[in-house]
A = this chain, B = another copy of it.
Amino acid sequence: MNLLTSPLLTDLYQLTMMQGYVDGGMHEEAVFEFYVRSLPKTRGFLVSAGLETLLAYIEDLRFSEEELNYITGTGRFSKALLDYLANFRFHGDVYAMPEGTVFFENEPVVRVVAPMPEAQLVETRLINILHFEILVASKAARCVLAADDKAILVDFGLRRAHGAEAGLLAARAAYIAGFVSTSTVFAESLFGIPISGTMAHSYVEAHENELEAFLSFGLANPNNTTLLIDTYDVRKGAEKAVEAAKKLKERGINVRAVRLDSGDLLALSKDVRQILNESGLTDIRIFASGNLDEYLIYDLMSQGAPINGFGVGTKLDTSEDAPYLECAYKLMEYAGKPRFKKSQGKATIPGRKQVFRELKDETMVRDILTTEGDGVEGVPLLEKVMSGGRRISEPKGLKEIAAYTRSQLKALPAHFKALETKPAYPVKISPALSRLRKEIERQER
């Protein structure tokens, strides 16, 4: 059993409902849509992500013998369901916004069209993947906008991400949103994301003094020398870095950067820049880290901090100011009939939907949420990505997705890119969809 690809990554109720569907012969076509009900207060837009991770999961979804034995052993399910699971594979179609698309509340990001039990089984892991990658890509995009191309951003978050998969998927989502690299080694072997890194305080502490630590690190890593200078005193640390850089230069080694990880980053970066410049080391860059997020990055950049790069960790990988999204994967149609629920605060808009985006001079004007076949103006955002359980095209490279995200962010008007955004971006519900909604809600259940 693989902890990340297993069909047992699901809620028990998916299996008990499948028992009901299989018993009742309810294999007709179901349409589910994944969307975010409302944006967190601190988000003016979201960035779609996780699609490729999701499609890979769905395409290969099978029950192994070990998994079937486990399910049999629970004693909860009939032979009919066990037989069904033994032959299970996903045969459905999937429609989705391309990864990197900017989107808003109530807009379907992914639509699954499949026989009911298949569409039901994938719910839990589908939400689990999309929710988290969207969460991090959206937070990362805010950091990228705050850095405003004046500094590079690196993901440092694995250690405080919620588990290993979160760290890996966060590295992926951040790269999609415009981060240049990650400190997570596995993310390079898995996704091809460039890795980068510096040194830790422990390395400095383990040596007799800072200078010795800096020299030994430079000799051991001649092509990748960043020196951490805040272990004892930043200004003294910067002077030691100057001394080390000069000695290393004699050995043909160029120190690339120094890192600050604590204290008043604005004042310290200015002092350190001055110390480096006065020694003629204008090429050595300054890298900063330590509980950073888009707000701090924005403040530092707008105050002219001479910082060339930021390591963003905890607050990125946990999306600290908005650690979850009000997202849902809801039944919109079954056996040809639109379906809905009207639970208080969680009512759905029934039917298969499409989002059309109106642009003017390559700038986004508004989105229209409507029924799938409605011929309104604008660019449709959902496209077919899986047919009969197989992906339609090769996975896109992450670089290509990152470039697309960049173009999406460029098309978003400045107001919605600001750290504080009110009013919200206009998403209009079309007359056709409003009519459908009223009609369905009138029906007695």
Contact = CB atoms under 8 A, between A and B. Distances in A.
Interface stretch (A141-149, A153-161, A301-309, A394-402): A153-161
A288 to B, nearest CB: 13
Given A24-B216, A70-B189, A197 B13 contact: yes
A116 B216 CA distance: 15
B263 A345 contact: yes
Contact of A160 (B20, B127, B217): B127
A369 to B, nearest CB: 20
A128 B16 contact: no
Interface stretch (A178-186, A272-280, A352-360, A382-390): A178-186
Interface string A155-199: 010111111111111100000000000011110111000011111
Interface in A428-445: 444-445
A8 B319 contact: no
A407 interface: no
Contacts of A295: none
A6 B167 CA distance: 13
A208 to B, nearest CB: 8
A209 interface: yes
A210 B346 CA distance: 18
B331 A324 contact: no
B318 A12 contact: no
Contact of A158 (B3, B128, B335): B128
A198 to B, nearest CB: 6
A324 B320 contact: yes
A232 interface: yes
A314 to B, nearest CB: 5
A120 to B, nearest CB: 7
A24 B6 CA distance: 44
A334 B322 CA distance: 40
Interface in A36-60: none
Contacts of A296: none
B185 A8 contact: yes
A198 B14 CA distance: 9
A217 B16 contact: yes
A120 B197 CA distance: 14
B76 A221 contact: yes
Given A8-B186, A165-B3, A343-B263, A26 B158 contact: no
A84 interface: no
Contacts of A116: 206
A323 interface: yes
8 pairs of A and B residues whose beta carbons are closest in the complex = A12-B197, A163-B165, A162-B162, A13-B197, A202-B331, A20-B220, A162-B166, A323-B323
Given A13-B198, A128-B164, 5 more contacts: A4-B165, A9-B184, A78-B220, A162-B169, A206-B334
Interface of A: 1, 3-4, 6, 8-17, 19-21, 23-24, 26, 30, 32, 67, 70, 74, 76, 78, 116, 120, 123-125, 127-129, 131-132, 135, 156, 158-170, 183-186, 188-190, 195-206, 208-210, 216-217, 219-221, 223-224, 230-233, 261-264, 290, 314-315, 317-320, 323-325, 327, 330-331, 334-335, 339-346, 444-445
